Structure 1
Amino acid sequence: MSRLYIFCLCALFTTISWAQAPLVVSIHPIYLIAKKITQGVEEPELLLKNQSGHDVQLTPQNRKSIQNASLIIWMGKAHEAPLEKVLSNNVNAVSILDSGIIQTLPLRTTRGVAIKDSVDTHVWLDPNNAVRIGFFIAALRSQQHPEHKNTYWNNAKAFAKEMLVISQSYNGAGVARPYWSFHDAYQYLERPLNLKFSGALTDDPHVAPTIAQIKYLNDTRAYKKMCLLAEASASASQYQKLAPISFQSVDESMTADQDFVAGWKKLALETQRCVLNARK
């Protein structure tokens, strides 16, 4: 048997091994980070396509992906409660929120009061957390495939540099600019963008704001024209009661983006434009 034949046979088995034991990532923003880290080695698989993690419908293909994965990275019960049943006892599943590698913030009421023993799960919006997640994925995958350790770690270092350079370019000096949100999903952007949360219309994007909350926001508005960050699905009839506003539709889950850094930069630009269009 020729050496060339043996080499080709080994390459074939390696390819089959990767195909049978992929890296599976639950939600889109973490998938985008994983793509950065595994570039040149493998292509991670996104489990919840066009799903936020809060409301999950697992297909037979989803279940097959979970069964075949050598590593499953998910946020954890606080963000993806429907996945707990299938992942909590899976030895190949790792929760980012349970890992201890990120800094978390508590949930807040619609009036900005921190809620004890809670966690805001939109942790990827903090550039430092995004970098930590990148190195975490590199470490986990390097343990499973040490032959690719250098590639994983070099990719993680490159991602960290790219992410931090972009985020630091938005660090503004002076007084933090106030903003409203339809629901409180953007507080991890506040430090890097120098923002100050002034309230939300509702604590659940699926629940309409109360008359009392709309009155509270109008009575306490910091600027005559306030910036309002909201999902595209937010009801115009509800937030227009707060006019004049600078409205900005944003997607904290980056579902339309194919690159994490580019997606974060777009979010930053949209948010910055919104707060700059507000005025006293």
Structure 2
Amino acid sequence: MTATIHRGEPATGAARADHRVVRRRLGPGRRFRFAFWVGPALVLAVWSIGSATGLISPAVLTAPWDVVTAFRDQWTDHDLLGNILSSLRRVVVGLAFGVAGGVLLAIVSGLSRIGESVFDGPIQIKRSIPTLALVPLFIAWFGIGEQMKIVTIALISLVPIYVHTHNGLRGIDGKYAELAETIGIGRGEFVRHVVLPGALPGFLLGMRFAVTSALLGLVVVEQYNAVSGVGYMIMLAEQYGATNVIVVGLVIYGLFGYLADTAVRLTGRRVLAWRRTLDD
């Protein structure tokens, strides 16, 4: 028999036990909440063991300790910090424009039938066209400088923000609107206190996809006439056959994405603490 917990009533011992059993079966639990490092640590361990035992040839993948050495050399003898900061600036500026545009379009489209009829169709068409396929067109429009790179990153990150935020807005239960009309809550207050918080999970999910997409765009655009950045470093390393430096760049890109995704996840858990999920 499953215990039932009514709103406003204290949970009984049996109910709490049932709740713990369900969480144990379905969710990771609180003790593993911040254990995001476990997966990367396992990958690093497999990589290290494979390199040490010769299962992974240096011609296939540089050993981790050689990557550390290459990182130190790039840091001390070359402008690795400057390249990292240059890449971060591009992705942060592009992502900021993409997020702002995606949220604005999602709100207009999600809260207005006219807005949806105007904006949703073109954005859905854009979803079927890979942004990276538009890079040659952007080069013709904006040249091969920083403007093209930022526009590409902004556009590639705008779509997931729009789609998931729009779905979150449209997914608000209609019963809340009926309740708001019953108790006399105005439209502005209803949107501010019910609709926008209800769409926040969708926005945060879109942020995770947007961060990954922005980094994908960064990897590509830094191959075009860049004079700084991690991609520029990788291009030079490719010309000289320095595979260890190439792996350094790939590791940096991976860390960018991993840390950004972790930050979004932790932010989501904090701002959505009122929601009970399997991670709780």
TM over 0.5: no
Structure (1/2) with the larger strand percentage: 1
Larger radius of gyration: 2
Q: Give the TM-score taking structure 2 as reference length.
A: 0.26
Q: Give the TM-score taking structure 1 as reference length.
A: 0.26
Which structure is richer in relative contact order (CA contacts within 8 A, separation 6 or more)? 2
Structure (1/2) with the larger helix percentage: 2
